[in-house]
Structure 1
Amino acid sequence: MKFLHTSDWQVGRTFAFVDDDTLGALQAERLEVIRRIGALARAQGAACVLVAGDIYEHETPANRTLHQPMERMRQFPDIAWHLIPGNHDADTPEGVWARLTREGAVPDNVHVHRTPEPVQIDAAHNAWLLPAILQRRHTLADLSAYMNDAPTPAGALRIGLAHGSVVGFGNAEEDEHNPIALDRAAQAGLDYLALGDWHGFCQIDARTVYAGTPETDRFGTGGAGGGETVAVTLPGPKAVPEIARHRTGKYVWRRFDTTMLTNAQDIAALESRLRGIQPDNPGAVLAWLDVAGRLGVDELAMYENTVLRRLGGALACLRITGAPQLAAVADDLERLGTGAVRVAAQALLAQVQAGGEQADLARDALQRLFVFWQDMQGARA
């Protein structure tokens, strides 16, 4: 038997650090990835897709958001989609699953599991699904425990589907909420345990896997990664699953360690590094830089033009913390002529050189003054 395993679609998610255009594109891709998962299922010859919770970001999405993932799955009537609630979209009395059921909006090929009991999902392979159901955002009970005694026919393939934290895998605080026993697959005689909640692919053991989100949604390590969907082949009962990871995400997220900029070569190297992430499609890259260092007047202007303007326009998102400081000296004032701008710059430079509480503020003002002057000169050229 072959199926796909995915989780944490979180349709309707927002990203506070991006502009409106990028936000719309990121949200749209969380829907479009469903189409790519359906196409992957067909290409892999997988008859079903298991979605381990957090289909939605919120329990009370807008009506359009509520229906959008259902309509994407409806476009693949030959694929059976099996869904369970997660901590973001728990099966509460007035939550998403109650609304969808009440409105009759769940397509025939989509199966929303709201009861913790074995369900046959593939008669030809005698495959049974054992779903764990979250009815609130957080619980202290291990909802997968019932799988140990859940009856299935002799020789059946037993597949667990759950959303939560494997005890002993995450940090102690995470383990307290929605816990799942580290050896649940062994205890319950599962051929495979499909998990959701962790946003990057993570294989706990030969039969226990977090698929991660199919469209990456965060920077950094520890739950980052994602952008993949897992194809699972079960050769037979008790056989070791064959697991293959497939790229389904469009956007690439990268966070960099502190980048020191001290000259034009450093700036050129940074540009090359960022453009090299996705040379053919930099518009699919979100990068987060921490920038430090000191640059001369000309190099600072180069940084503003190359990094902040050109790369800021080329990438989907360029998030920058920190900034290079201006390393101006008295000779740099010569380029400002003899007018009021130079007088102001002289006063600011003197304050920077004197140090004290106002030095940093004066340095920032002087930096802005030189950048403004460079822009004005460029406009006149």
Structure 2
Amino acid sequence: MRFIATGDWQLGMTAHFLSAEARPRYQRARLDAIRRIGELAAEREAAFVLVCGDVFESNQLDRAIVARTFDVLNDFTVPVVLLPGNHDPLDASSIYDSQAFVARQPAEVTVLRDSTPFEVVPGVEIVGAPWFSKRPLSDLVASATADLAEVAPGSVRIIAGHGAVSSLDPDRESLATIDEANLRHILDSGRAQFIALGDRHATYSVTDRIWYPGSPEVTSRREDDPGNVLLVDIESESHVVSVEKIPVGQWTFTVIEAGVDSDDDVSALEARLAAIPDKDRTAVWLVLTGTLSTAAKARLDEVLDHAGDLFALVSLWERHSDIAVVAADEDFAGLGLSGYLQESLDELADRAAGDDASASTAQDALGLLYRFARSGA
């Protein structure tokens, strides 16, 4: 028996950090990733697709997002099972009870609304642990599996949960942390053959039979292995499990760290950015440290401005960056400054050399003055 495990689709994610131009492309890419999951299920002859929580970004979404989701899911050739998570819990405002969802829910799409074993295909059942609020007061997976009997011979049982397992250093104030020892006991006692979990957006193997598939499209610069789904094979008689990680995402979020202490360093950063493929689907956060002359800093600004036109995002991660600017006399020699401009230069140079809060502002202003004077030369 073969199925696809995925999770954390978070359809409707706003991605506020992206530009207004890039944001719609990113939202479309998330739907495209879901479409690729359906195609993959057909190509690899998977029996069904299991989504382990956070199908939607929230319970308050425009109905068009639900409609577009169903438009994609209608093309799936296998059943799709959805588990409500912390972003889309089964609370009073649940998106799963909205008119937009209920009126057009495809016949092959099932929402796990409780922990009653659901036979998704003959001989295979899923036991889900749906969220009913954003702050559960207990381990939902433990509650959902407390009374499970041993799996009948020739059958397969899968547990679908959402949240952080105890070994992943979760929020210590959360009462919903999933007890990993209990998960292992469930498997060892033959009460299930596989446990698929959502909430962690990067693919991660807790054990050979407990997995986080991760989000099918990257959502954060902190994710170390996003953009995948899991193709899971479980032998019905021996219950031997094999898991294959398959990439489906198209976007990349990356952090680039570089020292910039010279014009050559700026050129090296420029080349490094130029070598990145698929720039319109890549968001870059820069961690830059060093000391530059005004001329070199102005060139760095030009490099970043140009990169910003090509990439989905190029952002200086201010909290981790530290670039000092030194106003060297040779930077402005030959620019023909006089009168008010020369007076401004002298004043800014004095302030930029200081160590108070205005020094950084003065350094930025020097760069602007340099670029302005050079463009008019």
In 1, are the aligned partners of 2:326 and 2:353 still within 8 Å (CA)? no
Cα distance, 1:119 vs. partner?
Answer: 1.5
In 2, are the aligned partners of 1:165 and 1:174 still within 8 Å (CA)? no
Distance (whole Å) between structure 2 residues aligned to residue 332 and residue 264 of structure 1 = 12
Change (3 A) 1:229 1:100: farther
Matches within 5 A, 1:1-381: 1-76=1-76, 78-99=77-98, 103-123=102-122, 126-145=123-142, 146-151=144-149, 153-173=152-172, 176-187=175-186, 189-220=191-222, 223-237=223-237, 239-257=239-257, 259-278=258-277, 281-306=278-303, 308-320=304-316, 321=318, 322=321, 324-340=323-339, 341-353=341-353, 358-377=358-377
Distance (whole Å) between structure 2 residues aligned to residue 117 and residue 238 of structure 1 = 25
Structure 1: state its 5+ residue gaps.
none
Cα distance, 1:165 vs. partner?
Answer: 1.7
Cα distance, 1:284 vs. partner?
Answer: 1.6
CA deviation map 1:167-192 (0-9, x unaligned): 23233527533534444253252111
In 1, are the aligned partners of 2:335 and 2:374 still within 8 Å (CA)? no
- State which drifts further: 12-21 or 102-111: 102-111
> What amino acid is aligned across from residue 288 of structure 1 in structure 2?
W
* SS of alignment partner, residue 168 of structure 1: helix
Change (3 A) 1:299 1:331: closer
Cα distance, 1:34 vs. partner?
Answer: 0.8
In 1, are the aligned partners of 2:2 and 2:232 still within 8 Å (CA)? yes
Distance (whole Å) between structure 2 residues aligned to residue 154 and residue 295 of structure 1 = 70
Distance (whole Å) between structure 2 residues aligned to residue 134 and residue 288 of structure 1 = 34
* SS of alignment partner, residue 168 of structure 2: coil
Cα distance, 1:356 vs. partner?
Answer: 6.2
Change (3 A) 1:89 1:350: closer
Change (3 A) 1:267 1:91: same
* SS of alignment partner, residue 129 of structure 1: strand
Change (3 A) 1:313 1:69: same
Distance (whole Å) between structure 2 residues aligned to residue 356 and residue 111 of structure 1 = 60
* SS of alignment partner, residue 229 of structure 1: strand
In 2, are the aligned partners of 1:119 and 1:129 still within 8 Å (CA)? yes
Change (3 A) 1:93 1:262: same
Change (3 A) 1:275 1:231: farther
In 1, are the aligned partners of 2:67 and 2:100 still within 8 Å (CA)? no
* SS of alignment partner, residue 171 of structure 1: coil
> What amino acid is aligned across from residue 314 of structure 1 in structure 2?
L
Structure 2: state its 5+ residue gaps.
none
In 1, are the aligned partners of 2:164 and 2:170 still within 8 Å (CA)? no
In 2, are the aligned partners of 1:289 and 1:319 still within 8 Å (CA)? yes
In 2, are the aligned partners of 1:118 and 1:150 still within 8 Å (CA)? no
Distance (whole Å) between structure 1 residues aligned to residue 322 and residue 132 of structure 2 = 46
* SS of alignment partner, residue 286 of structure 2: strand
- State which drifts further: 366-375 or 51-60: 366-375
In 2, are the aligned partners of 1:218 and 1:224 still within 8 Å (CA)? no
- State which drifts further: 100-109 or 139-148: 100-109
Cα distance, 1:208 vs. partner?
Answer: 0.5
* SS of alignment partner, residue 179 of structure 1: coil
Cα distance, 1:238 vs. partner?
Answer: 5.1
Change (3 A) 1:127 1:101: farther
> What amino acid is aligned across from residue 150 of structure 1 in structure 2?
L
What is the TM-score normalised by the length of structure 1? Answer: 0.89
Distance (whole Å) between structure 2 residues aligned to residue 262 and residue 102 of structure 1 = 56
- State which drifts further: 351-360 or 130-139: 351-360
The number of residues matched between the two structures is: 368
CA deviation map 1:238-296 (0-9, x unaligned): 53311111111110111133x22112221122122233342xx2222111002222223
> What amino acid is aligned across from residue 169 of structure 1 in structure 2?
L
Change (3 A) 1:190 1:275: farther
Change (3 A) 1:101 1:336: closer
Distance (whole Å) between structure 1 residues aligned to residue 56 and residue 301 of structure 2 = 39
